[in-house]
Amino acid sequence: MAEKMSRVVKKRKLDEIRQDRLYFDSYSDVTIHEEMIADHVRTNTYRTAILKNSESVRGKVVLDVGAGTGVLSIFCAQAGAKKVYAVEACSIADQAQITVKHNNMEDRIEVIRGTVETVDLPETVDVIVSEWMGYALLHESMLNSVLYARDKWLKPDGIILPSKAELYITPVIDPVVEDRLHFWYTVKDQYGVDMSCMSGFARKCIMNSDITVSSVTCEDVLSHPARFAELDLHSVTPEELRSVKGQFRCESFGSSAVNAFCVYFTVTFPCPDSTAPLVLSTSPCKPETHWKQAVLYLDAPVEVVQDTPITGEVRMYPSEENARHICIHVDYSIGEQKRQSKTFSIPDWSSEAQP
């Protein structure tokens, strides 16, 4: 029995190592870095936030967790940082080093290849900056690395950029899905074959349990959003990230059919010299980002009218198969409908490609 348990633990450890390798390898290609830097909302908000916090950065020591190509580290140096440790686990660190040298910043930015959990810095830091957010905020679980860096390297009075994250949910109508389902009713008119019987099968295939990452238009949002979770990066613990949950209540704007929930996030940067903090939002009613939104399809659409209550609870937690992947469980009621539940996850395509 003990030998069997030992094999299980060893297999789990090997799976975690493989998952980490796949995760870091995915950031070794130029495409993902092009997508992130080309995301003007993302990159410019970080640049603005760093410059607005120049009083906290100037002459100070900064740790960039998951530095990628090094662009945030360079922003920090431009804001006057005395020293920036750019920690990056994948091979893109070599390109970061080249970029740093190309911008004549090598005297202030030190690129360190490795995970933040394994590198050894020569000093504590005044500022942690990181672009750690994944789809639906927590996919890829990089926030755990930021918290590790906070607990090990950040001075007691240090700052974290961004300092807060919030999660929102809202009911939506996806008209493309409805058009795809209706398609099977049009085949007979086109080709003389009645294929309306395919509609149920199509619904199961399309309105499945996947977290669909796609752009939701503001016109398809059916209520004001409800915030169901807030994470203070100065105090949240890794244990709390194992189950991020909260209740929600929305009221529909008017007559429509809810066929999905949309989950999105914001992150907030402190701005000492401004009355209002700086917010990076992935709301469908704000300019689009590369994160888009997480769409969770119901099994079937539900009709609503003005002020129909839509209530429930959302719970987000790491997948048992891959701790870097997020699952979202939603308990919900729409109007007089009885309580329903559905669990969603992002498909792990990498596992199918592995022996």
Q: Please tell me the distance from the alpha carbon of residue 337 to that of residue 343, in angstroms, as a whole number.
A: 18
Q: Please tell me the distance from the alpha carbon of residue 94 to that of residue 28, in angstroms, as a whole number.
A: 10
- Residue 131 annotated as catalytic: yes
Q: Please tell me the distance from the alpha carbon of residue 106 to that of residue 101, in angstroms, as a whole number.
A: 5
Q: Would you say 145 and 129 are in contact if contact means Cβ atoms under 8 Å apart? A: no
Length of the chain (residues): 355
Q: Please tell me the distance from the alpha carbon of residue 264 to that of residue 294, in angstroms, as a whole number.
A: 6
SS3 80: coil
Q: Would you say 344 and 333 are in contact if contact means Cβ atoms under 8 Å apart? A: no
Where would I find the H helices in 118-261?
A: 143-153, 175-183, 187-191, 199-206, 238-241
Structure tokens, 124? 């504590």
DSSP-derived pairing of the beta strands 326-334 and 340-345: antiparallel
- Give the phi and the psi of residue 168 in degrees, each rounded to 5: -130, 155
For residue 128, give the amino acid letter: I
SS3 149: helix
Query: Kind and range of the H or E element at 36?
Result: helix 30-38
Q: Please tell me the distance from the alpha carbon of residue 218 to that of residue 343, in angstroms, as a whole number.
A: 25
Q: Please tell me the distance from the alpha carbon of residue 240 to that of residue 138, in angstroms, as a whole number.
A: 12
Structure tokens, 170? 């809202």
- Residue 313 annotated as catalytic: no
Q: Would you say 69 and 33 are in contact if contact means Cβ atoms under 8 Å apart? A: yes
DSSP state of 207: S
Q: Please tell me the distance from the alpha carbon of residue 161 to that of residue 125, in angstroms, as a whole number.
A: 13
Name the catalytic one among 34, 140, 166, 321.
Answer: 140
Name the catalytic one among 3, 131, 178, 219.
Answer: 131
Which residues are the active-site residues? 131, 140
